[in-house]
């Protein structure tokens, strides 16, 4: 009875956390809409970006409750629920409403902003540390990783608790530009040395994340079968999210001055930044697929297509830019025109003509380099199809078929059934 009671309590707790997070999501969405009015309203694009972020973070909660209900002893589900709850704690929207939209309407909004100023630490830290260390079965890769787990846990705990107590200005601690520059109401003067070296202290968080990321590589090299496919899902989601985030940060640094979806951000850059929020959902979705084992082996197809179309896109982009910039510069030097629509049209036609043959070559290259077994099987099957058209000897055909199947598919047993001649005559005559 005791294990069943514990399972029931765990299921209730999981759904309770789901409900609390859903309420927080609703509060954030309501205040995000309310903040579009007032003396200093937030732009519609900014409100839309904030709302998209809250909805995307709710994916951690949705996946977390599924994992926690089905596998209550697996800590991954509870980690996902915690991450989702941390990101949904109402803070910025309520603080903006009480400080800008309707000043003085939320007396405790400044204290709430300070208390939640370090919520990003467990939000990002749990993804980069314990989610990586314990994925997918909830156990460390080996006992050697226990010190890493302890150091990561203490780092997240200390940094999360210390940031709201730093004796800095309210705006610096909460990191909200709309708050006043008065002193932090929760600041502790004894932590002044920590405040002076806050950037150095925060470096411990990414160092822990990098160390824990190494555990995924170690686990992948040791894993076999189902566990290897599970780690692939997490690795692909992490790489895609990291690459897109790096690209968005570079674009934001060049064109937006590191501004993230505010009134000064160009419209196209705001769209790109909001798209990254959608890509951020790939992490919880991949974790859910891996642990619940839903279409687990589809990851090989996804990786294959990502490599093919990623390489194809990069190659065609180089061809197009070479045509537009390189050939266009020559045309401008000869004709003196600033822009030639003929060069753009010709480059577009070249890219369109190269798409199909280049995709085939890229597919063959990827299969030959990364999927050698599949490539060899396709080549053997194609060769057998050519030979079988000219073969009449049934015995030789039987031997060749068994050899091809054994080489390509590698089954445990092989048997060939040949329809008897009298059965063929009976089927032609009918009953």
Residue 392 structure tokens: 């009449």
CA distances from residue 367 to 331, 333, 410 in whole angstroms, order as listed = 40, 43, 19
Number of Cβ within 10 Å of residue 310's Cβ equals 14
Per-residue pLDDT band for 5 (boundaries 50, 70, 90) equals very low
Q: Which residue do the tokens 């800008």 mark?
A: 100
Pick the more confident residue, 12 or 194.
12
Report the candidate in 41, 67, 52 with the shortest Cα–Cα distance to residue 293.
67
Pick the more confident residue, 123 or 46.
123
- 126 burial (CB, 10 Å; 0-12 / 13-18 / 19+) is buried
Determine the Cα–Cα distance for residues 82 and 64; give it in Å rounded to an integer: 9
**Nearest-10 crossing angle of helices 341-370, 372-388:** 90
| C-alpha 190, offset from chain centre | 40
Q: What is the largest CA-CA distance in the chain?
A: 100
CA distances from residue 176 to 92, 96, 207, 234 in whole angstroms, order as listed = 8, 9, 26, 33
CA distances from residue 36 to 50, 100, 102, 239 in whole angstroms, order as listed = 12, 11, 11, 35
Pick the more confident residue, 241 or 386.
241
Instruction: Say whether pLDDT at 154 is over 90.
Output: yes
Mean pLDDT throughout 108-120? 84
Long-range contacts, stretch 307-311, CB < 8 angstroms, 24+ apart: 307/366, 307/370, 308/359, 308/362, 308/363, 308/366, 309/359, 311/362, 311/365, 311/366
R_g of the chain, CA atoms, integer Å = 29
- Find the helix or strand (DSSP H, E) in which 26 lies: helix 2-34
| Cβ atoms of residues 52 and 277 within 8 Å | yes
Highest mean pLDDT pick, 168-172, 286-290, 323-327, 412-416: 286-290
Per-residue pLDDT band for 325 (boundaries 50, 70, 90) equals confident
Instruction: Say whether pLDDT at 196 is over 60.
Output: yes
Residue 153 structure tokens: 């846990």
pLDDT of the residue at 152: 93
pLDDT of the residue at 131: 92
Mark 156-177 as b/e (b = at least 16 C-beta within 10 Å): beebbebbbbbbbebbebbebe
Per-residue pLDDT band for 18 (boundaries 50, 70, 90) equals very high
- Find the helix or strand (DSSP H, E) in which 208 lies: helix 204-222
For the chain, give the percent of residues with pLDDT over 90: 17
| Cβ atoms of residues 319 and 272 within 8 Å | no
Number of Cβ within 10 Å of residue 394's Cβ equals 9
Average pLDDT taken over every residue of the chain: 79
Mean pLDDT throughout 400-409? 69
Instruction: Say whether pLDDT at 412 is over 60.
Output: yes
For the chain, give the percent of residues with pLDDT over 70: 78
Pick the more confident residue, 390 or 147.
147
Instruction: Say whether pLDDT at 259 is over 60.
Output: no
Highest mean pLDDT pick, 15-19, 71-75, 269-273: 15-19
pLDDT of the residue at 374: 63
DSSP 8-state assignment for residue 73: T
DSSP, collapsed to helix, strand or coil, labels residue 411 as coil
Instruction: Say whether pLDDT at 419 is over 80.
Output: no
Prior bond of 136 cis (ω within 30°): yes
Determine the Cα–Cα distance for residues 301 and 306; give it in Å rounded to an integer: 8
pLDDT of the residue at 65: 93
DSSP 8-state assignment for residue 183: B
Residue 145 structure tokens: 């990783």
Determine the Cα–Cα distance for residues 429 and 431; give it in Å rounded to an integer: 7
Determine the Cα–Cα distance for residues 73 and 296; give it in Å rounded to an integer: 21
Instruction: Say whether pLDDT at 147 is over 60.
Output: yes
pLDDT of the residue at 192: 80
């Amino acid at each position: 009875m005791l294990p069943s009671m514990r399972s029931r309590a765990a299921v209730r707790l999981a759904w309770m956390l789901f409900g609390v997070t859903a309420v927080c999501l609703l509060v954030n969405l309501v205040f995000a809409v309310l903040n579009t009015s007032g003396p200093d309203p937030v732009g519609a694009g900014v409100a839309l970006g904030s709302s998209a972020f809250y909805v995307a973070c709710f994916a951690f909660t949705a996946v977390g409750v599924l994992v926690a209900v089905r596998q209550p002893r697996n800590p991954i589900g509870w980690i996902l629920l915690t991450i989702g709850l941390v990101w949904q704690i109402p803070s910025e929207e309520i603080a903006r409403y009480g400080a800008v939209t309707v000043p003085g309407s939320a007396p405790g909004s400044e204290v709430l902003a300070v208390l939640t100023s370090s919520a990003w630490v467990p939000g990002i830290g749990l993804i980069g540390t314990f989610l990586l260390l314990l994925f997918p079965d909830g156990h460390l890769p080996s006992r050697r990783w226990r010190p890493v787990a302890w150091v990561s846990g203490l780092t997240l705990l200390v940094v999360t608790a210390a940031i709201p107590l730093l004796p800095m200005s309210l705006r610096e601690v909460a990191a909200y530009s709309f708050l006043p520059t008065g002193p932090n109401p929760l600041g502790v003067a004894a932590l002044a040395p920590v405040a002076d070296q806050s950037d150095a202290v925060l470096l411990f968080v990414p160092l822990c994340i990098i160390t824990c990321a190494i555990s995924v590589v170690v686990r992948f090299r040791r894993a076999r079968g189902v566990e290897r496919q599970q780690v692939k899902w997490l690795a692909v989601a992490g790489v895609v999210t990291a690459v897109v985030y790096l690209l968005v940060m570079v674009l934001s640094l060049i064109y937006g001055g590191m501004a993230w979806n505010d009134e000064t951000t160009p419209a196209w850059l705001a769209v790109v930044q909001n798209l990254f929020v959608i890509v951020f959902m790939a992490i919880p979705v991949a974790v859910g697929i891996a642990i619940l084992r839903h279409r687990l082996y589809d990851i090989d197809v996804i990786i294959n297509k990502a490599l093919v179309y990623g390489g194809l896109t990069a190659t065609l982009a180089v061809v197009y830019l070479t045509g537009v910039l390189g050939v266009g510069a020559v045309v401008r030097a000869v004709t003196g025109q600033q822009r030639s629509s003929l060069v753009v049209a010709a480059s577009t036609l070249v890219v369109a003509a190269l798409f199909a043959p280049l995709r085939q070559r890229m597919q063959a290259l990827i299969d030959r380099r990364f999927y050698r077994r599949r490539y060899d099987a396709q080549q053997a099957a194609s060769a057998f199809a050519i030979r079988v058209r000219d073969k009449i000897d049934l015995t030789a055909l039987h031997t060749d078929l068994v050899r091809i199947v054994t080489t390509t598919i590698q089954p445990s047993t092989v048997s060939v059934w040949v329809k008897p001649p009298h059965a063929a005559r009976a089927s032609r005559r009918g009953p």
